Structure 1
Amino acid sequence: MLIVHDIFVCKPGNASKLAKRFKETMALGNQPVTVMTDMTGQFNRVIMVSQYDSLSAYEKSWEDMQKDPETMKKMEEAMKGYTDMYLTGSREIYRVW
């Protein structure tokens, strides 16, 4: 199993706004995602956590999402302007043993 962390370091005052937007937008798709904000450590972080059986399952989830143009359009509209809310981001993929 793989666990994927999509990490966003937000501009001050935007972490909770971005977390809420991610939570609402990801609910439109079929992949369960957990959205977290920091309580300790680096400030202003939003982390989306998702799980997949393999890297090919991870890639397939993106392909499947793109096959549904109506859902993609709704997600794009919901995320409009989100790039103004964060400074930088990264993705970490972990293998669970």
Structure 2
Amino acid sequence: MIIVHDIFVCKPGNASKLAKKFKEAMTGYSEIKHIMTDVTGQFNRVILVSEYESLTTYEQSWKKYEEDTEANRKMQEVMQGYTDMYLTGSREIFKVW
């Protein structure tokens, strides 16, 4: 199993707003397991946790985000302007043993 953390370091006051956007936009995308905000450690972080069977499955999942579907159009509409809410980000990919 592969677990992916997409980490966004938000501008002050925007972490909960961005988490709410992700929660609304990612409804129906079964690979997204958790949307988290920090309690300790670095401030103003939003972390999306997703799970995949393999790296191949992870790579293939990107294709579904490129499709012109009603769900993707809704996601794009909800996420409009989200890049103004964060400063930087990163991705961590873990293999579960």
What's the TM-score once normalised by structure 2's chain length? 0.92
CA offset at residue 73 of structure 1?
1.1
Gaps of 5+ in 2: none
* Partner residue in 1 for 2:14: 14
1:55 aligns with 2:55: yes
Superposed CA RMSD: 1.3
Q: Runs in 1 of length 4+ with deviation above 4 angstroms?
A: none
Of stretches 58-67 and 8-17 in structure 1, the one that deviates more from structure 2 is 58-67
Conserved in 2, the CA contact under 8 Å of 1:29 and 1:71?
no
Report % sequence identity: 66
Conserved in 2, the CA contact under 8 Å of 1:65 and 1:71?
no
* 3-state SS of 1:61 partner: helix
CA offset at residue 43 of structure 1?
0.3
What's the TM-score once normalised by structure 1's chain length? 0.92
Gaps of 5+ in 1: none
The count of corresponding residues between Structure 1 and Structure 2 is 97
What is the alpha-carbon distance in structure 2 between the residues aligned to residue 64 and residue 43 of structure 1?
32
